[in-house]
Chain A
Amino acid sequence: MSTMSMPSQAIPKDDARPFVEYAFVKGHFAWGYFWFMFAIIGGFLYAGQFLQAYLLPGIEWLSPGRVRMIHTQGVAYGFIANCFLGALYWAVPRLTGQRVTHKYLGYFILYAWNALTLISVVGILFGEAQALEWGENPVWIDPVVLVGLACAAAQFTPALWKTKGKLHYVSIWYFSGALAWTGLVYFMGNFGPEYWAVGTGGAALTGLYIHDLVGLFVTPIGWGLMYYFVPILINKPIWSHKLSLLGFWGLAFFYPLQGIHHFLYSPIPMYAQYGAVVTTIAIEIVVTTVVINFFATLRKREAFMVNSLPVRWFYTGMILYFITCLQCSFQVTLTFQKIIHFTDWVVGHAHLVMFGVFGFWIMGMIEYLWPKVTKAGEWYSNHLSHWSYWLMGIGLIIMFSTLTIAGLVQGYLWRDLAVFEASISASVPFWWARYFSGLMILIGAFITAFNMYKTAEMGRAK
């Protein structure tokens, strides 16, 4: 099994169709990046409200609460989903030796998915939100989203399943698992609390949904792509195939069980809460093996961290992933929950994992693939790419650390029965720091947007 490195299956030569559809990689990346900008502008606006300095006050449809919802919706369904689809259009044919199901299905998914995201955003702004974390898109659009997810599964699963040989590369398991999970998770989370699980039971399902969306959609596709891109970029097979096996099946086994840790000390029966805590700590051990595997792979290739910006984005994300998971195994305990639940600690954690890990990985994939799919060959400016890396990297770390400390301050003030307003006054300096760290990320994002635009222009000129 140790001989099993990257698969290199013969590409059929008797077919004139392009093997990798560059248009979809490019299209999904461009839309994804548009939603990223959209979402972080929303996040930046919303952060101003915490300083009593909201930039667009008194407008009903731009009320901070609504903008907060499109911030997370834009990130999850606009940014991450689009960019992952784009990366899958690149990785899946190369990994499996199979074309994706159909070109027209590809165009349909590209336009329909972004139309769905747009309709959700407009729906939320005009007061049609559903009261469900990460599922605020209006309840009437949920069935259509499920159709969209089924289309995505239909586009990629046949290629994954048709891969030759009995042993498939690890990325293929992750993609295949994620395509099964996402639809199931979405169905349970968006319809359960709304129709068949009232109150406390609904909270149990909401917990599962919040966590599964990260754990069973974003995480497996993210790691699957890392297992694909990292060995190619540093030109070395993954260190241990057996550890990757442990990583995937550990995720499949423990991740779906954890969601209720979002509602510890709630009226949900305690056995379910204990189950969530124990499996959460268990998976931290599993993810540590994945991180070890990747850092062992990097051995004797450390120079890539300096010389290759995509590799640097990937491994920065992995270091932050390790911090996230370490943090997770502590914060999930009942001891930590007493203080940090309901505070900014959790907000810091969410930004660390969604942007610091998966956002950074996506930035690395864009860094690697954008000059290729636009046919420019190279970036308009490598200098600007580096500026973007440092602004976003430092911005994110400031954001994460200030929110984490703010969370502790809030939690202890609440426990010690200070008047509630004291916890707000004490948070204001941290919220200012968060605001400026957000500004750094925003500037970094604008720089890359400009760079992407110029690079695409270069590609068209060629």
Chain B
Amino acid sequence: MGLTSMLHRLAARHAHVLLVETPGHWLTRVAAEHHLLDRGWRLAQSPADADVLAVCGTPGVELATVADRLWQQMPGPRVRIGIESPEQVRHALDIAEADLRDITRQQTDSRVRRGGRGDQTRPDGHPTGGHGPHGDHAKGGDEHAGHAGHAGVAHGDMDMAPAGIPLANRGEDRDGLELDVLHVRLGPVLAYWPAGLVLRCTLSGDVIVDAQASLTDPSHRTPEHDSASRSGRLFAARRCDNAASLLALAGAHDAASGARQVRDILLDPDGAADAPARLARLTRTVRRSWLLRWSLRRLGSLSRSDLVNRDLPDTLEGDAHDRLLGMLDRASRAVAEESSHRATGQPTVPVEAVAELVRGWDLATARLIVASLDLDAAAPAREVSRV
């Protein structure tokens, strides 16, 4: 079986990892991302694409349920790891690779799954009907975990329900066409999405006609892991990470990789001293790309009076492109000053405002707008606990 084991080893060296970030564990997630890309692994975009489920931090009840669902949706061979702190990342990834290669372990896992418990008659049955693959399953009865997508489609019209999924209701979209209305959750686990944020969207076609925003486990809040050491570099790294998300969503892969690398250098205590120069180069590249400007301008424009009305910080003025450049500028300034008085000043965005800003936009645009808000994972939490 030399060939088989060689192939398994080859496969395990190219694993795809689905990261679940518990709010407050940004540093752990970033370290995991850095190390897994470093060893040539890739980030999975959906559970179907994933070999490894990596949960960063200790999730609350709601997020843990979502992680369980994602785990059930993974095709297998599969490995689940929990990473508590940035220091554990390397070790956890080594374990994941070893477990992926362990053929007997994977065979046992597959047998146990097939044996199944009551509701798992289908070995690979996943809750996908009408809703997305990510974390949008906590609605409705959790006792149906892993079963048909009861949560996906509008309830009410239960006359026809193929495979237990009621058909979608109809509604008028913004152009007055009558389209199927789908209820889709965005988050809490989605690539380039702020940790802990959930948007319950009502879609007609791919246009968000209505949305409600919430946070997972609002009562289960671990204090920000890194709050003790809020330095200018950390603040800048956070801005770079958010810029990388926005760039990746806009499809500018090289620029996104560049932003990610600057972020990792900033977080590394003995990181190279050329971080400011690299950041400046990245900013120049982004500023010069007219295609990027063309694709991001006029998205989610906010005037000064909009900001005041919605109680939003004034760093969000302008469109998505302005905000992208703003993130990079703030990062540069924080690195240059190396002081903490500015760094603590990342203002909060009320979570309801996020929902308001995406209403009426299509999914792609909505994702770009959310990413352009430069959210700190913990920021909406404070806001909500105040309400």
Chains A and B bind each other = no
